[in-house]
Structure 1
Amino acid sequence: MQSSQQQSQPVRPPASKAESKGLLSSTLLVSSMTMLSRVMGFARDIILARLLGGSPAADAFFVAFKIPNFMRRLFAEGAFSQAFVPVLSQWREEGGKAAVRDLVAHSGGTLALILFVVNLIAVIAAPLLVTVFAPGFIDQPEKFELAGQLLRVTFPYLMLISLTAFCGAILNTWGKFGIPAFTPVLLNISLIIAALVFAPGMEQPVVALAWGVFVAGIAQLLFQLPFVWKLGLLPKLKWGGQHKGVKQILTLMIPALFGVSVGQINLLLDTLLASFLQDGSISWLYFSDRLMEFPLGVFGVALATVVLPHLSRTHTSGDTVKFSASIDWSLRMVFLIGLPAALGLGLLAEPMLATLFQYGAFTDHDVLMAARSLRAYSLGLLVFILVKVLANGFYARQDMKTPVRIAIIAMVVNMAFNLALIFPLQHAGLALATSLSAIVNAGLLWHGLAKSGVWKAAAGWGVFILRLLLALFTMGFILLWFTPESGWWLAQNALNRGLWLTGLIGGGALGYFCVLLISGLRVRHIRAPM
């Protein structure tokens, strides 16, 4: 590093409250904030479903929203964060405050300039992007033109939310997990206001939603800046093409573009192929994906967000035993929460979709179609979460090449399954292909960590899995026994649906955790390493 780093004192401030409480409590904090965001997201999607249903305009909006959202996850919250957090943790542990500020200033300036150029090109070439990401729209001129119009408004969201993710990575490294986790709530609030207040008065309501996305990006960035300033790390942006730390980040980031975001690439391929299917296919995939994203975001993303800075610090300190123990604990938590969530999504697909979305333009047919893809996604929920956690075992050690090789294999598998399953299963085949490729991805990542000795399974896995199976059997029995048939859900009003669904979820969860307790699982068995 630079000489200024060697002369200044290392940045090891007293542990923040989030850091001192440990991994479990930090994960719960992020989960609670993410839960709030997801609940608001469901409220948003209920309103969107009522306003748009499975219409061509809905398909156009979701494509225009998904393209910058995909790139956000690919670049900002994906590759950039996975490369930036380990490097920032290293500079924090080994360097001085001036060196950390210098790294933040140069990496932020480089990111901002690159994003500005990308946004400028994308706004000019919006029709080309629609052609690439939804080629099925070409034969539907009105739909194609609307998607391009909306994309010109939504795409700048990429730059705004990427800079927000940059601030969030800094806050996460300093243990301020709750602030970045709360930030997505602002997107949901903006879209809800746009849908309820501005959309009804417009000739094309989805245009108001596109502007809601743009405004949300501004609000999210402005919300986080004061907290970064409070840490003394609000940067004066500088170009860092020759900066050592920026070069280190870019070296790690380029391969991570594939490794960290293979799931997002697969979902985008689903959209591309679904654009050739019947109207509504993209919307059905969107709404089923939203339900799948609820447990994935509330728990999977929360866990991965908290664990990455912890693993990065542990790797920098050279504590291989603690590093392995942290991964092992993360995997147990994934199984503990991911398995019942996947089972619940699969068994309660129609009830959840009908309760949340079957209003206004969202018809009985939309519910049944979206349920097919939701069940297919539920088969992969556990491994979607596993991929996020297992990949961190490589990224924290600044090993990007291994996840890239695995991601390429998974992408090829996904394409093959897409072509094989789209004809017999239509949009549900695309969702199933995504789940199957994620299984391959997670399996290879798991094997790579175990083979390299980075992760060694701690004692007690056999008993732990047996307890989970007993609890899952009980939960499944409760849900199957007490869940009415699909026709009942489609015929009921919102209140009856909501009450019955709440009872089913509560009863299934109660049965699951009671069996775990009866079988001997205690808090000490899932206590996080400190």
Structure 2
Amino acid sequence: MSDQQKASTDVASDVSPAPGLLRSSLVVGLMTMLSRFLGLARDIIIAALAGATAHADAFFIAFKIPQFLRRLFAEGAFSQAFVPVLSEYRRLKSFDEIKLLVNKVSGSLGLSVLIVSSLAVAGAPVVATVFAPGFVGQPEKFQLTVDLIRITFPYLFFITMTGFAGAVLNSYGRFAVPAFTPVILNACLISAALWGVSYFDEPVMALAWGVFVAGASQFLFQLPFLAQLKLLPRPEVDVHDDGVVKVITLMIPALFGVSVSQINLLLDTVLASFLPTGSVSWLYYSDRLVELPLGVFAIAVSTVILPSLSRKHADASKNDFAKTLDWAMRMILLISLPAALALLLMAEPILITLFKYGALSERDVSMASFSLMAYSLGLIPFMLIKILAPGYFAQQDTKTPMKIGIVAMVVNMVLNVCLVVPLNAYYQLGHVGLALATVLSAGLNAGLLFRGLYLSGVYQVQPGFWWMLLRYIVAVVIMGGALFWFLPPLDAWVGWGWQMRVLNMAGLVIGGAAIYLVSLFVMGLRLHHLRMSA
């Protein structure tokens, strides 16, 4: 057998049938839902432990920086650049060449992030000054933030390598393992909050060490699954390799294109450091609730469509590419429309039910509810960005999302100034202005991404789309009316114990979901309308 025939055989054996997109999305969504619910439990415990105090603000800053960089590098730009290249290698190259690419990308990426993490630990005061400049005038708060950053920042190295391993597994259709991995982070932080605090004078130090342990644990957890694919990397540093160069070339512009929403949220945190104590925490708690539907559904759909779109682009299947994007749009709107309205209508009851225990005060809940209502308005564009951006990345076009992302980020900065800086005593939106600025810039970002795909003909509205959207809207209006009618007054929520709060919230959530789904069923929507092969 010739070398060319052998390579062709290797490629053919490497390509396995992909499960349906709905099934894969459900697998990722269920694993992510488990992680997000554990994340909510984690935040409930942290809220009871630290509330919205100066110490809580310091921890959230120290935790949010590596988390942001994780989304930027591991789950964001790197994944969006690496998966299309790996998909192309699977179609066109031998297995040995694929393995060599994995080795060289892991070595080059690992060394780069190790250097960044080491510099951040050594220069923690500088990092704290850049990301929380408002803390500089508060010596105790600033020093605590510096100490916490030195503990949490190595998490970036471990979680980036975890993201690398997850990208390889996702490319091979092994979606469940990467989706389950974040459960380990939440389990470690819950353990630190419940049992680790007794070993430290400052409770949030235990949380910081929980972050460190979680990073290493998540990375080690995925290695056996890479070994099953015979792709356990032996890191090599070769930044001149064609595959590595291609990943880097695609990754640099993708840093802006895929992560503008996260950059805007981080800018909110930076500016919030200048606002009254508690502002960082209020934004954190409200952002976490928006992250639940965003993480469970949007990221699940985004995760499964990128390899699928990349394969279709490699096969020059333009019609199938457009159909996949259309399917993703329908799935996102199916979830984001009712979720956004529910968060808007029930913002304060949800926060009371989840967080108003221990150190978190009634005022803290009220202030967080305002930013949650603002963020809820942006849930639809937040989720759409997650599935529109892969439409570009699958074509190995990272420059267009980058340009759109820069425009959106500049608009966000301008809006931050306009909505946060008080013009008079009656115009002081504070942290709510930060949330609104992020929402408006996300709407612009999603709109420009959609416009580019539509005008280029990459996305084509498929038959039945507008009729299905009308069904969604009517069902959401019916659900919203029912929630508004049955929602108990705020005084009742405050007076109830946790059992009564949970019981009533569960009734509203389950009842609202049932009304929404029954309304869709009555209007003719069936499960087979949501299925699509990969």
Q: Quote the offset at 1:528 in angstroms.
A: 1.5
Tell me the residue number matched to 1:327: 325
User: Would the aligned equivalents of 1:8 and 1:97 in 2 still touch at CA under 8 Å?
Assistant: no
Residues 52 and 278 in structure 2, CA contact (< 8 A), matched pair in contact too: yes
Q: Which runs of 5+ in 1 are unaligned?
A: none
Residue identity in the other structure for 1:288 = S
Q: What does the per-residue CA deviation read over 1:145-201, in whole Å, with 9 as the maximum and x for residues that have no partner?
A: 000000000000000000000000000000000000000000001001111111134
- Please tell me the residue identity of whatever aligns with 2:362: D
Q: After superposition, what is the alpha-carbon deviation per residue over 1:106-162, rounded to whole angstroms, capped at 9, x for unaligned? A: 000000110111111100111101101110000100000000000000000000000
Aligned pair count reads 526
More deviation, 264-273/482-491: 482-491
- Residue equivalent to 2:302: 304
3-state SS in 2 of match to 1:12: helix
Asked if 1 retains the 8 angstrom alpha-carbon contact of 2:52 and 2:360, the reply is: yes
Q: Aligned partners of 2:15, 2:348: CA distance in 1, in Å? A: 46
- Which ranges of structure 2 fall in alignment gaps of 5 or more residues? 423-427
Which residue identity is paired with 2:45? I
2:246 matched to which residue of 1?
A: 248
Contact 1:322 1:529 in 2 (8 A): no
Superposed displacement of residue 524, structure 1: 2.6
Using the size of structure 2 for normalisation, the TM-score is: 0.97
2:479 aligns to what?
475
Residue matched to 2:276: 278
| Equivalent runs, 1:355-374 vs 2, <5 Å | 355-374=353-372
Query: Quick one: which of 154, 161, 164 aligns to 2:162?
Result: 164
The one-letter code of the counterpart of 1:316 is A
What is the deviation of 1:521? 1.3
Match of residue 407 from structure 1: 405
Structure 2 equivalent of residue 70 of structure 1: 68
Distance in 1 separating the partners of 2:239 and 2:182: 31
Q: Secondary structure at the match of 1:245?
A: helix
Matched, 1:526 2:530: yes
1:342 paired to 2:340:
yes
State the match for 1:426 in structure 2.
430
8 Å CA contact 2:419–2:429 kept in 1: the answer is: yes
Mark the CA change 1:396 to 1:242 in structure 2 (over 3 Å): closer, same or farther. Answer: same
Could you report, residue by residue, the CA deviation over 1:342-401 in whole angstroms, capped at 9, with x for unpaired residues?
Answer: 111111111111111110001111111110000000000011010010000000000011
- Identity level (%): 54
> Does the CA-based 8 Å contact 1:5-1:95 persist in structure 2?
no
CA contact (8 A) 1:51 1:361 kept: yes
Q: Do 1:5 and 1:99's aligned partners in 2 also have CA atoms closer than 8 Å?
A: no
* C-alpha distance after superposition, 1:207-239 (max 9, x if no partner): 111000000011101100000011000011000
Cα distance between partner residues in 1 of 2:320 and 2:209 = 47
Specify the SS of the correspondent of 2:226. helix
1:33 offset after TM fit, Å? 0.2
Q: Distance in 1 between matches of 2:416 and 2:491?
A: 30
Of stretches 515-524 and 102-111 in structure 1, the one that deviates more from structure 2 is 515-524
> How far off is 1:432 after superposition?
1.0
Please report how far the alpha carbon of residue 274 of structure 1 lies from its aligned counterpart in structure 2 after TM superposition.
Answer: 0.3
- Tell me the TM-score normalised to structure 1 length: 0.97
Q: Secondary structure at the match of 2:353?
A: helix
Instruction: Answer yes or no: is the 8 Å Cα contact 2:20–2:531 preserved in 1.
Output: no
Structure 1 residue runs of 4 or more that deviate by more than 6 Å after TM superposition: 3-6
**SS of the residue aligned with 1:11?**
helix
Aligned equivalent of 2:182, options 181, 184, 188: 184
Query: Quick one: distance in 2 between partners of 1:37 and 1:4?
Result: 45
The amino acid that maps onto 1:197 is W
Give the match for residue 466 of structure 1.
Answer: 470
What is aligned with 1:140?
138
Q: Residue type matched to 1:98 in 2? A: D
Find 2:218's aligned residue among 217, 220, 238: 220
Instruction: Give, in angstroms, the shift of residue 7 of structure 1.
Output: 4.4
- Structure 1's 174 and 5: CA in aligned 2 closer, same or farther, altered over 3 A? farther
After superposition, the CA RMSD in angstroms is: 1.3
* 1:4 Cα deviation from its structure 2 partner: 8.7
- Tell me by how many angstroms 1:481 deviates: 0.5
